[in-house]
Structure 1
Amino acid sequence: MAFEGLADRLQTTIQKIRGKGKVTEADVKEMMREVRLALLEADVNFKVVKQFVKKVSERAVGQEVMKSLTPGQQVIKVVKEELTELMGGEQSKIAVAKRPPTVIMMSGLQGAGKTTTTGKLANLLRKSYNRKPFLIAADIYRPAAIKQLETIGKQLNMPVFSLGDKVSPAEIVRQGIEKAKEEHYDYVLIDTAGRLHIDEELMQELRDIKELADPDEIFLVVDAMTGQDAVNVAENFNDQLDITGVILTKLDGDTRGGAALSIRSVAQKPIKFVGMGEKMDALEPFHPERMASRILGMGDVLTLIEKAQANVDEEKAKEMEHKFRTASFTFDDFLDQLGQVRSMGPLDELIKMMPGANKMKGLDNIQVDEKQIGHVEAIIRSMTKEEKERPDIINASRRRRIAKGSGRTIQEVNRLLKQFEEMKKMLKQMSGMQQKGKKKGFKFPFM
């Protein structure tokens, strides 16, 4: 995940000051030196770092913090608030035109993931906002760009308008918008051409499309892995097109996060969405406060809840809770739960969203091996229906057959059966605690 190095450095730094009953100016100065280094190492723009450190320092040595009962906590609160402000303060929502369709123009350099992001955004608009999107393929230069968008449209079962690569992009856009109006679509997403670098020809074409389409949003798609270059690209596109927002892609990758922390301050345009994976549902609205919480190791419960609500079947969840209480939880149920949880995203990322996960021993460096999960699924799928419902009947010969059928070892089959029994006992105990009210407000995970 992006910000990992920055998060580690900042969390180590604020840990030193967290429980202090008294905080001196020297403590704040030392902390800010560490914060400055952490931000510069994360490839945050130098001017942005300077301004951020100055703001935090001024507030941290103020009367309100120094004379409070918990000065250490107050300093951390200041860091979080300023980090949130640095990334935009609050979520910047997507525009809605007074008269549909709302037109969104997607722009960016080649390789930033613009076409894929166009599909992801259309999917998000339909899934989370209950809107009808219409895609226009206006990139006539990149080989297979039109085909790529058509494939995405087919995958998502969405209309894609194209006139091939012999018609001018402006004409494609004009006819596409007309068709979207006729067929009463809510949103039009225009996938425009990119280049390997910014040039006048590209910008003139984009200005022509802007003038013709009169878009409600002009999004710049930027690869978060490019660091400081992303900020320069944002500045240039903004000067030419007056963009309305930024979509950062590959924020789940091994990126230092400098672009996300610099773009808002330098280009004065909000980050509206972030790409968190390759799948078509891996695009999220950007919430500065939630991201600040994650960077500082405070978790991100709201995003976790939203992911659960979007991916977990409520009726199945109630049925599963009953099975937990009655200890009638089977291997089929386990497979079903595993599928629902995995659809929420990478498991190690979900764990890191839990408050305090950074302080739990072993969880700070947790890496969930997706291959191992695949092996578990293979073992379960090699069982008969009766074996899945009554694992106690699985004797030595059945274990050999299951191992052979799944391509795993007998030891792995034995380990899974033992872990499953232990999990059932634990869930029954937890359910009993919930029934007796020993754990106030206890809820099963992802339910």
Structure 2
Amino acid sequence: MFDALQENLGAAFKTLRGQGKLSEANMRDGLKLVEKSLLEADVSYEVARAFMKRVSDQALGEKVLQSLRPSEQVIGIVYQELVNLMGPVDHSLHLKGKGEVTVLMMCGLQGSGKTTTCGKLGRLLKQSGRKPLLVAADLQRPAAIDQLHVLGEQLDIPVYSDRTSQDPVKVTGAAVEQAKRLGADVVILDTAGRLHIDNELMDQLKRVDSRCSPDQVYLVVDGMTGQDAVNSAKAFNEALELDGVIMTKLDGDARGGAAISVKEVTGVPLKFMGTGEHLENLEPFHPERMAGRILGQGDMMSLVEKAQQEFDQDEARRLEEQLSKGEFSLDDFLKQMQQIKRLGPLRKVMGMIPGMSQLLGDMDDVDAEGDLRRLQGIIHSMTPAERRKPKLIDHSRRRRIASGAGVEPHAVNELVKQFDAIAPMMTAMAGKGMGDRMKMVKEVQAQMMGNPAGQLGKKKQSTGKRLTAKEKAKAQRDREKRLKQLRKNKGR
């Protein structure tokens, strides 16, 4: 998500930083590159022009041009205007009090992920202590009814449907009465969709809206459709007065322009975003965090929140106690890697860490997930004593471990070097706050980036182009041949 926009904006800002002294002329050239980046990301033309006018009015002022770091001030202006463009957002669902039923109406076109999003929202509500009821009101598509029942079984959430009825107004009205009998306090209506917006669809939704008087109406749109998603949001809002938009498929190749444009075009906030197919992949949309991601500044708040949900808290407390005693073993290192894998794909996690998005560009030819699996294989090939004290690993032990893991002995040596660099930092972190910890993480990243043995994704300096599989295999053979020759010379 936003990869191309992030890369293009980074290039634009690099151009501004590269100027010896910023003048109004070269500032305008840099800002044109920013505008081009937005348009290529499929941001609405009108939105991009209005956005750039606000940025330019501030960036071309005398205060910025004569400052010590004008390029950094421009980045700050772009960041704040992005936040203003996408926000503010009220994440509350405005649920009623105990004993009352809140009705949430979900609408959208077919293929937008509406039914799955109903399940995801139900899961969030259940986790917060609510008792949701899912309602199959999409009578145009029998598969949608079946899908909602499957989701309800997975989540242990009741589902109301009436396969004998062809009147969604009647079904939704009966569902609200059923919720009262079941003691459910939130009703989620999965209404009908179409392949495109038509009068019949809008008329049906208006009748459901009139009959049930939903407390909140949310539109689910497919982020992959770009400005079509924004246009459909505008049409639905004119008919129903939406309370919010939920954008799905923002984990794929979506260029991100729809997410940036939707609030400005419709006046309706983007409240949640779908970041994957799994039922837990629904996140509140935070404009300030998204602006940080777009500008390559990461999103540590979202990463910390996800870590708090996914990490084993008992294991975290045990590790904290060990670290406070100055103890950190390869077993602990392995457990930490396994915890990190639970947060999602490594590239996605790294993209949320400040400063790491630049390193991702250097890792295009690197299989980071495969590297992690190899590291785990190496550690699993060690004895318990070797995991506790890696210094025990001599030449013969290294060969035995490498043989068990199916790697070259030098890979074992590189892992131990990585561990030796990380272990002191981990023990020093015990009892420190998040700010101090992040500072130490950045220091160790800088060390590892300067150490070819410890860096997974060192960028190749030869041709600058991506190597083919055949070229990679030849390069690996050449490296192994050189290492063998070095060992041979060392043994003489």
Q: Identify the residue that residue 476 of structure 2 maps to in structure 1.
A: none
The residue type paired with residue 319 of structure 2 is M
Does residue 124 of the first structure (1) align with residue 120 of the second (2)?
Answer: no
1:442 aligns with 2:437: yes
Does structure 2 retain, via aligned residues, the 8 Å contact 1:18–1:76?
Answer: no
Aligned residue for 2:157, secondary structure, equals: coil
Distance 1:201 1:25, change over 3 A: same
**Structure 2 counterparts to residues 141-290 of structure 1, below 5 A:** 141-164=140-163, 166-290=165-289
- Which digits, 9 at most, give the CA deviation of each residue in 1:346-399, with x for residues without a partner? 221111111122344855758655455556667877999899889979969986
Output the aligned Cα RMSD. Answer: 3.3
| Structure 2 CA distance for partners of 1:135 and 1:388, relative to 1, 3 Å | farther
Shift of 1:294: 0.8
Partners of 1:102 and 1:186 within 8 A in 2? yes
- Of the candidates 392, 407, 414, which is equivalent to residue 411 of structure 1? 407
Q: TM-score, normalised by structure 2?
A: 0.78
Q: In structure 2, what is the Cα distance between the partners aligned to 1:422 and 1:294?
A: 31
Give distance in 2, aligned partners of 1:79 and 1:400: 50
Question: Letter of the aligned partner of 1:214 in structure 2?
Answer: S
Question: What is the aligned partner in structure 2 of residue 111 from structure 1?
Answer: 111
Which deviates more from structure 2 when the two are superposed, residues 256-265 or residues 427-436?
A: 427-436
SS at match of 2:171: helix
* 2:308 equivalent in structure 1: 309
Q: Counterpart in 2 of 1:358?
A: 357
Question: For residues 316 and 191 of structure 1, do their structure 2 counterparts lie closer, same or farther at Cα, with a shift above 3 Å needed?
Answer: same
Deviations 1:133-172 (A, max 9, x none): 2211111221311111111111122221222253522222
Deviations 1:306-327 (A, max 9, x none): 1111212333112123445554
Query: In 2, distance between residues paired with 1:68 and 1:217?
Result: 47
Report the AA paired with residue 65 of structure 1. Answer: V
Higher Cα Rg: structure 1 or 2?
2
Q: State how far apart, in whole Å, the 1-side matches of 2:326 and 2:166 are.
A: 65
**Structure 2 CA distance, aligned partners of 1:7 and 1:160?**
41
The answer to whether structure 1 residue 425 and structure 2 residue 420 are counterparts is yes
Q: Structure 1 CA distance, aligned partners of 2:402 and 2:16?
A: 56
Letter in structure 2 aligned against 1:15: K
CA distance in 1, matches of 2:191, 2:407: 54
Q: Which shifted more, 177-186 or 142-151?
A: 177-186
| Residue number in structure 2 paired with 1:407 | none
The code of the aligned residue for 1:221 comes to V
Please state whether the residue corresponding to 1:221 is helix, strand or coil.
strand
1:112–1:11 CA distance, 2 compared to 1 (3 A): same
C-alpha deviation, 1:224, in angstroms: 0.7
Q: Larger relative contact order (C-alpha < 8 A, sep ≥ 6)?
A: 1
Q: Distance in 2 between matches of 1:77 and 1:441?
A: 24
Would the aligned equivalents of 1:20 and 1:71 in 2 still touch at CA under 8 Å?
no
Gaps of 5+ in 1: 404-409
Residue aligned with 1:144, SS: helix
Instruction: Write the distance in 2 (CA, Å) between the matches of 1:416 and 1:186.
Output: 57
3-state DSSP class of the match of 1:11? helix
- Write the distance in 1 (CA, Å) between the matches of 2:345 and 2:81: 29
Q: 1:395 and 1:69, CA in 2 relative to 1: closer, same or farther beyond 3 A?
A: closer
Instruction: Kindly report which structure 2 residues correspond to 1:15-54, keeping only aligned pairs within 5 A, or say none.
Output: 15-18=14-17, 23-54=22-53
1:3-82 paired onto structure 2 within 5 Å: 3-18=2-17, 23-82=22-81
Cα deviation for residue 274 of structure 1 reads 0.6
Task: Tell me the matched-pair count.
Answer: 434
Q: CA deviation at 1:34?
A: 0.8
Supply the distance in 2 between the matched residues of 1:388 and 1:354 (Cα, whole angstroms): 28
Q: Give 1:328-339 correspondences, 5 Å limit.
A: 329=329, 331=331, 333=332, 336-339=335-338
* Residue ranges of structure 2 left out of the alignment (5+ in a row): 442-492
Name the stretch that deviates more: 39-48 or 82-91: 82-91
Partner Cα distance (2:158, 2:380) in 1: 37
Moved more, 256-265 or 374-383: 374-383
Contact preservation (8 Å) 2:245, 2:271: yes
- The Cα of 1:248 is off from its aligned counterpart by 0.7
Residue 318 of structure 2 corresponds to: 319
- Deviation string 1:26-48 (CA, Å, 9 cap, x unpaired) is 13211221112111111111111
Q: Structure 1: how far apart are the matches of 2:370 and 2:74?
A: 42
| Percentage of matched positions with identical amino acids | 42
Superposed, 1:375-386 pairs within 5 Å as: none
**Could you tell me how far 1:233 is from its partner in structure 2?**
0.9
Q: Secondary structure of 2:130's match?
A: coil
Deviation at 1:193?
Answer: 1.3
Cα offset, 1:187, TM superposition:
2.1
Amino acid at match of 2:407: Q
Q: How does 1:379-398 map to 2 (within 5 A)?
A: none
Structure 2 CA distance for partners of 1:22 and 1:220, relative to 1, 3 Å: same
Query: Structure 1 CA distance, aligned partners of 2:374 and 2:366?
Result: 16
Distance 1:19 1:287, change over 3 A: farther
Q: Distance in 2 between matches of 1:375 and 1:206?
A: 54
232-241 or 173-182, which deviates more: 173-182
- Deviation string 1:224-248 (CA, Å, 9 cap, x unpaired) is 1101111111111111111111111
How far the C-alpha of 1:62 sits from its partner, in A, is 2.6
Change over 3 Å in CA distance of 1:242–1:368 after alignment to 2: farther
Report the secondary structure of 2:105's partner residue: strand
Please, which moves more after superposition, 341-350 or 47-56?
341-350
1:43 alignment partner AA: D
**Distance in 2 of aligned mates of 1:435 and 1:209:** 56
After superposing the two structures, state which structure 1 stretch, 46-55 or 166-175, moved more.
166-175
Give, in whole Å, the separation in 2 of the partners of 1:432 and 1:345: 26
The offset of 1:337, in angstroms, is 3.2
- Residues in 2 aligned to 1:162 and 1:12: alpha-carbon distance in whole angstroms: 53
Decide whether the 8 Å contact of 2:42 with 2:226 is kept in 1.
yes
